[in-house]
Chains A and B, each alone.
Chain A
Amino acid sequence: MTVGQQTQRRLANRFYGAVMNFFQETGALAYFAARFFREVIKPPMEFRELLRQCYNVGNRSLMLVVVTGFIIGLVLTLQSRPTLIEFGAVSWMPNMVGISIVREIGPVITALICAGRVASGMGAELGSMRVTEQIDAMEVSGTNPFKFLVVTRILATTLMLPLLVVFGDLVALFGSALVENLKGDVSFQLYFNTVFNALGYGDLIPATVKSFFFGFVIGLVGCYKGYFSKKGTAGVGIAANTAVVTASLLLFMVDFIAVFVSDIFYEL
């Protein structure tokens, strides 16, 4: 066998391995999700832990979401302003910013921030619990660790992300209104009236629904990577890292599907 053929064979093997690994991971993640739906309806309900996780996900991400949202509102308005002035369409600024933030930018940016903060945190926390046998200790003490650790975290992200998106959207709109108020002499009342007049249920409902899915994906991936963490302490880092990458990638896929589906409904 020539060197060229050997290289080709090695590349083919590597490609085959990567494809197999992708399908195995996808299958395992789907099974993990199915287990979540099986366990979520079973008693006992871990309400105390759920509240604690809601606090962790919601309250502790709030500041980050608020600051990012404010800056995005400011920047979006500052960047769009010259072009809209050029076309004599600056009065459309509230409509344009409002719709783009509520329908797309707000949910996606908030979800990406949470993927970075929450999914990696969950991956690292559960990974470290796996490595230090805390999950085994929980199992031995008669508590279902999947129910206690995974179900509560996935529920918390699913419930909290839409709320964070609402906060993020409002602060982004406020940032935009501030620029318009300072540069264009538009009052806050006029700005927000125009924004809310421009928004319809067709904008709000799909954005809210997809925020729930975003939250679910973030919790699911973070918990999956951490729960099945391997290779000792190095595995904890890998779990945190891959949780962010996988969650971010899945968020865009879910976003595409959500936009595609809502577009069908919109046309109906």
Chain B
Amino acid sequence: MNQRTHIPYVKNGTLQKDPEGRKVVIEIRDLRKSFGDNHVLNGFNLRLYEGENLVIMGKSGSGKSVMIKCLVGLMQADSGYIEVLGKEVNTLDRAQLDTLRADIGFLFQGSALYDSMTVRENLEFPMRRHKEKLGAFADTEPMVLEALENVGLAHTLDLMPEELSGGMKRRVALARTLILKPKVILYDEPTSGLDPITAKEIIELMRSIQKKYNTSSLIITHDVDCARVISERMVLLVDGINYAEGTYAELSSDKDPKVEAFFKK
């Protein structure tokens, strides 16, 4: 359950497989980030394997979102090593980072749909900069429709985000995340602010998408039900470090007070 010893998963720029035969798609080593005197991350370590659903749980303000933003270069870590799909994020220039980002989907906590654009334009937006991945003359219409059909919202194509409910917004945001067929999807509180039924629908969608596209998912949440349903492995982020790691069953039966606190009803 404790953090595993480090194995050099990347050699000569290619991903090596872990002892269980899976590739490492995200690796974080000794990540540190502070805001003034507030030390949010104090040497966080993480590995996400190919096709895995990994849940990170932590209290509000524990640095989960900061960590995920460091992963995609939205924030600069103070120190530490971050590698996504075999590329060290901190050494990439803007163009290289943008290319890498085409393989990373990011579902934001509040959906983050562009208010001034229709659902169609929201979905087309990520495709503007990634023509090389899609092909210069790719017809975007079928891709948009496919992504919307995946989330059951093909009829919302020409609606504005303000005309959608909270759950629908989250599903459209998920469709936007999927549009470039990413290899890794990062979910930042995917069920926060949703009623239990809609939250369950979103979790089911996440599972079906993971199965359909064999994506690796890093899910940040403090929703225990979400973690129970979707996680293959969990990491508890406490005091800026990965305090405990294991399956839901292992962690939920742990007697450590700090671990227990997460699972108390």
Contacts and interface: CB of A to CB of B under 8 A. Distances in A.
A136 B112 CA distance: 8
Interface stretch (B76-84, B103-111, B236-244): B103-111
B101 interface: yes
B102 interface: yes
Interface residues of B, number: 23
B213 to A, nearest CB: 18
B172 to A, nearest CB: 12
A128 interface: yes
B98 A142 contact: yes
B129 A141 contact: yes
Nearest to A140: B106
Q: Which of B102, B108, B112, B125 has the most CB of A within 10 A?
A: B112
A21 interface: no
Interface string B63-101: 000000100101000000000000000000010001101
A137 interface: yes
Nearest to B125: A141
A134 interface: yes
A25 interface: no
A132 B130 CA distance: 24
Nearest to B69: A136
A137 B106 contact: yes
A139 B102 contact: no
Interface in B121-135: 125-126, 128-130
Contacts, number: 48
B104 A140 contact: yes
Contacts of A128: 115
A125 B108 CA distance: 19
B128 A143 contact: yes
B125 A143 contact: yes
Nearest to A139: B74
A267 B108 CA distance: 60
30 contacts: A125-B116, A128-B115, A129-B115, A132-B110, A132-B115, A133-B109, A134-B112, A134-B114, A136-B69, A136-B74, A136-B108, A137-B106, A137-B108, A137-B112, A137-B114, A138-B114, A138-B125, A139-B74, A140-B72, A140-B74, A140-B101, A140-B104, A140-B106, A141-B125, A141-B129, A142-B99, A142-B102, A142-B128, A143-B128, A143-B129
Interface of A: 125, 128-129, 132-134, 136-144
Given A129-B115, A137-B112, 18 more contacts: A125-B116, A129-B114, A132-B112, A133-B109, A134-B112, A136-B108, A136-B112, A137-B108, A138-B114, A140-B101, A140-B106, A141-B126, A141-B129, A142-B128, A142-B129, A142-B130, A143-B125, A143-B126
User: Top 9 A-B pairs ranked by shortest CB distance?
Assistant: A142-B129, A141-B126, A137-B112, A142-B98, A133-B112, A140-B106, A133-B108, A134-B112, A142-B101
